[in-house]
Amino acid sequence: MSTLSREERKTVSIQRLTRSAVLLAAALVLGLIEGFLPPLPAPVPLRYGLANVAVMATLIFIGSFEAFSVAFLKSIFVFMTRGLIAGAVSMTGTLLSVGVMIALERLFKRRISIFLLSISGAIAHNIGQLIFLTLFMQYRISVLLVGPYLLVFGILTGILSGALLYAMMRPLQSFFRRNG
């Protein structure tokens, strides 16, 4: 039996929902900002993965279910604003990425480096998108040709996302500690 009263559990649930909504809004804003940045110089379209900062913050500060929800809803937003193909590509990459990050967090019992988490998520995101483009869109490009680029850019964008989250850790810790 829980030590929290029904009213306290309801308050905690509302706080989790509100915090998830704030981090979803952050993911959407970061995704929009990313749209204004020049594309990465690669043989396939690659983005910086800035919205992943909010997904990782959700995973670290709130939980797995909420991180999955933020990632899923972010991809729905891509679908609504950029169309079916962009939404599907985003969904496959994002869900594989958050799945890998959740698995790593559980495997390492929440004692994993932000940078390892971020790099793993970025590489998984790129792999998910490549799988979708290859299998469902019959994208005609050699995996051996783009694989090294996806790995290198996954590492670089993962380091970028990890660095941004690392820079935000103190304010985020303060916010989550102060409000709940």
CATH of the domain at 133: 1.10.1760.20
Q: Which of 40, 35, 102, 43 is nearest to 67 (CA)?
A: 102
Residue 35 lies in a domain: yes
- Residue 5 falls inside a structural domain: no
Specify the pLDDT at position 1. Answer: 46
Angle (deg, nearest 10), helices 84-107 and 64-82: 170
Q: Give the pLDDT score at 45.
A: 66
How many angstroms separate the CA atoms of 75 and 92, rounded? Answer: 9
pLDDT at res. 129: 86
What is the three-class DSSP state of 179? coil
Domains identified in the chain, total number: 1
Q: With respect to residue 158, please indicate whether it lies within any of the assigned structural domains.
A: yes
Residues 23 and 57: beta-carbon distance below 8 Å:
yes
Enter the pTM of the model: 0.87
- pLDDT digit of tens for each residue in the chain (180 aa)? 457 677 767 777 888 899 999 999 999 999 999 889 888 776 666 788 899 999 999 999 999 999 999 999 999 999 999 899 888 988 999 999 999 999 999 999 889 999 999 999 999 999 998 888 888 766 666 667 778 888 999 999 999 999 999 999 999 998 887 655
Could you tell me if residue 127 is inside a domain?
Answer: yes
Residue 3 belongs to some domain of the structure: no
pLDDT at 48: 87
What is the dihedral angle through the alpha carbons of 31, 117, 88, 145, rounded to the nearest 10 degrees? 100
pLDDT at res. 175? 83
- Within a domain: 2: no
Q: Is residue 63 part of a domain?
A: yes
Q: Is the CB of residue 158 less than 8 Å from the CB of residue 118?
A: yes
Number of H helices, E strands in the chain: 6, 0
Domain extent for 63: 10-177
| 1 assigned to some structural domain | no
Torsion sign (Cα): 32, 126, 171, 25: positive
